[in-house]
Chains A and B, each alone.
Chain A
Amino acid sequence: MTKKIKTAIWHEKSLEANPFAPKESYLYGENYFRNVVSNHTFTELSFFTVTGKKASPKQRKWFDVLLNLGANPGIRDESTRAAMNCAVAKGPPINSLLVGLLARSGENRGGRWIEKVMDNLTKAFQDKTDLPDFAPFSGLGMHFGAPDQRAIAAVEFLTAKKYWGKYSEFLQKSAGKENPVLLEGIIAAGFLDIGLTPVQGSLLFLFSSGPAYIAFALEQWELGYKEFPAFFGEEGFSYNGPTSSSRETK
């Protein structure tokens, strides 16, 4: 028996005379090119595509804000710098976007971090355990050795607009002087509040930062390596491994 791809997401009806050419395409049963694309914003469509559910007006706006919060890690973030390093070496610019996304996929406040924090928020909330015990995947901590000012700004408008649910509240209540709320923690909690699973949240978080890498990479692509810090000739990089007389031979 020949196996087929199984999906509940995408369906195509082919042209009668050509089984390879799609006549109509459907996303969760809705005609994609005739109805879906013109009646949804990109954010609504992303939510619908990933979850299979239509976001309520409030969910959509909240989701939009959460994606915006994660949409720019800043020019000094490791992921942005990886993307810019790729750009100044003058490869295809598309590589820089991919590099940025790859570098932000990780466990240090990247995609996998978001997933773990969402998991731990769920566990701590359900089991009534202490969220800080899940550090470094608690959504709490210092940002460059200081309370996260990005998070403070975000909490102010999220609460004012009532983009605030039980997980956001739980995160904030779990915070303390030594472990204040992190911006990425707020995003993780918000994703849970609007009904995303940890895996969905982590991937959408990662996906949101694409335009930032595009902008930063294209800027450096044009400026070139001569304008970009590479630390040659500075004293910042040193070797402290074995010497030719102290190296191990076996």
Chain B
Amino acid sequence: MNKNNKPTTLQPFPEEPHMINAASFSLPELGKWHRKASSKLGIMTEDLRIIVCGYDILKELVQTVDLGQAIYLFIKHRLPEKRVSDLLKCIIVGLNYPDIRIWPIAAVALAGASGANCGAALSAGILGFESTMLGVFAISNATCFLDEIQNALDKGVALRPFLQEWLKSGKTAYGYGRPVFKTDERVPAVLKAAQNLGFGNGKWLSLALEIEKILGEEKKLIMNYGGLIGPLFKDIGFTRQEVTTFSNFLPIINFLGVFHEHAYGKSPIFPLSCQDVEYSGPPPKD
């Protein structure tokens, strides 16, 4: 809770707790796992082979898989069909735009300008991108919003009254609307790419487009990037947790470029004077 007693969790869709630190386990479980761990993802074997989900990565994958396939493999534990990895590439490229006025990107640039290492600046951007207004939780919450709607539809509630009630209650329609701007230039470009790859009629994308039509009429809300890629992720079978994990990768390429430019740049980033700060606290005492 913050000082106004408002929750700082990711309402209305708080994440499921994942508590698997050793201190949360009972003695018999700890005894079973003492000095042990397991992985379904992969291992470096004693003869120095790198196994990922049954593939010998150096012998079988190095020359054959692309970046989209590799990311999918590491998260879903199987290789995707080509059009899925092509879609992932489109989604990644579509999100990487290097404007340092955007909040998490500003964090990368400011950290880089402060002489932080690339790892630190990159981490600052990733942490900043893990937000509900844009970025990771905005995207995963967009998938939760779709689930909530589908549950209601399954119970026989009509879409328009559900959305009207949702807006009336003051809840965020994740995936729709955008801070600062009234349109989202990324949506038509990546939607077209998705349609070209054969994802235009997916169950979740179709629902999302239907929602956009109603929210546009009701509150002039447009589909944002999370509102587009959330249902696309669902149509290719990503769970909420997989969406959350994968989405952290989305801005990385851009963050690398922004760090590289501003860490080694020649000018400061939006320096502010003392007069650019509007003070409203107790009167200063000398």
Contact = CB atoms under 8 A, between A and B. Distances in A.
Contact of B2 (A18, A95, A221): A221
B164 to A, nearest CB: 25
A92 B8 contact: yes
A230 B104 CA distance: 11
B180 to A, nearest CB: 5
A231 B272 CA distance: 11
Interface size class of A (residues with CB under 8 A): 35 or more
A103 B3 contact: no
A89 B8 contact: no
A226 B133 CA distance: 12
A108 B135 contact: no
Interface stretch (A35-43, A71-79, A155-163, A183-191): A71-79
A3 to B, nearest CB: 10
B88 interface: no
B103 interface: yes
A108 B114 contact: yes
Interface string B1-33: 011100011100000000000100001001000
B121 A103 contact: yes
B276 A229 contact: yes
Nearest to A77: B114
B239 interface: no
Nearest to A231: B101
Interface stretch (A24-32, A80-88, A117-125, A193-201): A80-88
Interface residues of B, number: 48
B115 A89 contact: no
B130 A92 contact: yes
Interface in B242-286: 269-272, 274, 276-277
Interface of B (DSSP majority class): loop
B123 interface: yes
Contacts of A93: 2, 8
A91 B117 contact: no
Interface in B106-136: 106-107, 110-111, 113-117, 120-121, 123-124, 127-135
A90 B2 contact: no
A238 to B, nearest CB: 11
Contacts of B27: 17-18, 20-21
B155 interface: no
B124 A86 contact: yes
6 tightest CB-CB pairs across the interface, nearest first? A107-B115, A106-B115, A91-B131, A106-B116, A89-B131, A108-B115
Interface of B: 2-4, 8-10, 22, 27, 30, 35, 99-104, 106-107, 110-111, 113-117, 120-121, 123-124, 127-135, 137, 179-180, 269-272, 274, 276-277
12 contacts: A2-B35, A75-B277, A82-B107, A89-B128, A89-B129, A89-B134, A91-B132, A95-B127, A99-B128, A102-B120, A109-B114, A232-B101
Given A90-B133, A93-B2, A96-B127, 19 more contacts: A82-B111, A85-B103, A85-B104, A89-B128, A89-B131, A89-B133, A92-B130, A102-B111, A102-B123, A106-B117, A109-B114, A110-B114, A110-B115, A113-B115, A218-B2, A221-B2, A226-B179, A230-B102, A237-B270
